[in-house]
């Protein structure tokens, strides 16, 4: 019986040790700083990552818009048509405009369509079941005086969704970037 009481006494004696250790930790001036840092570090890092992702997304979108404007000029002035570029050759010209932020050969999709009037232009996104429908994309740069819509698409990975909002519009955590240029081809001299 004495052995049982001795074990029970040791258990009670060990129990106040944990609160005492906690009180001693909290009494230290560095402990408050450690706890404050732990509470603020996670939201600060999350906010910093969200700011960086937003900046990269804006930069990527502007890069794609600039490439669309520069590439549209190749069709607008008739350079693509008179040179007889295929869709792959035109995409190479587009990729020459985009440097560093995109994997252009595997990630950028080009869609060039000709329309009879500006009001007939289809501005719908080629998304089917949460995926980019690449079979709907074509390459028809038209001729002199034709109305053309050039679109560049890129499936950009979304690394961080903010506050539970799903920022991706494609399955698999991707956001579809689209840069569009609509114009009427100049009356260039068509090659014969």
pTM, two decimals, is: 0.73
In contact, 71 and 182? CB cutoff 8 Å: no
Convert the pLDDT of each residue in 14-40 to its tens digit.
555 567 776 766 666 666 777 888 888
Q: Is 105 left (phi over 0), alpha (psi -120 to 50) or beta?
A: alpha
Convert the pLDDT of each residue in 125-158 to its tens digit.
888 888 888 888 999 999 999 999 999 999 887 7
């Amino acid at each position: 019986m004495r052995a049982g009481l001795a074990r029970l006494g040791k258990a009670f004696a060990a129990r106040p040790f944990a609160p005492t250790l906690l009180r001693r930790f909290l009494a230290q001036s560095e402990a408050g700083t450690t706890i404050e840092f732990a509470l603020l570090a996670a939201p600060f890092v999350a906010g910093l990552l969200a700011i960086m992702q937003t900046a990269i997304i804006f930069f990527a979108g502007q890069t794609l818009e600039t490439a669309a404007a520069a590439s549209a000029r190749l069709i607008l002035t008739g350079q693509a048509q008179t040179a007889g570029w295929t869709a792959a050759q035109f995409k190479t010209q587009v990729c020459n405009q985009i440097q560093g932020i995109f994997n252009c050969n595997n990630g950028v999709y080009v869609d060039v369509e000709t329309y009879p009037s500006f009001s007939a232009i289809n501005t719908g996104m080629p998304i089917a079941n949460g995926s980019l429908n690449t079979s709907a994309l074509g390459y028809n740069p038209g001729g002199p005086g034709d109305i053309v819509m050039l679109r560049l698409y890129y499936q950009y990975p979304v690394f961080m969704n903010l506050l539970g909002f799903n920022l991706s519009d494609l399955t698999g955590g991707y956001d579809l970037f689209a840069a569009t240029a609509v114009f009427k081809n100049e009356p260039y001299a068509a090659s014969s």
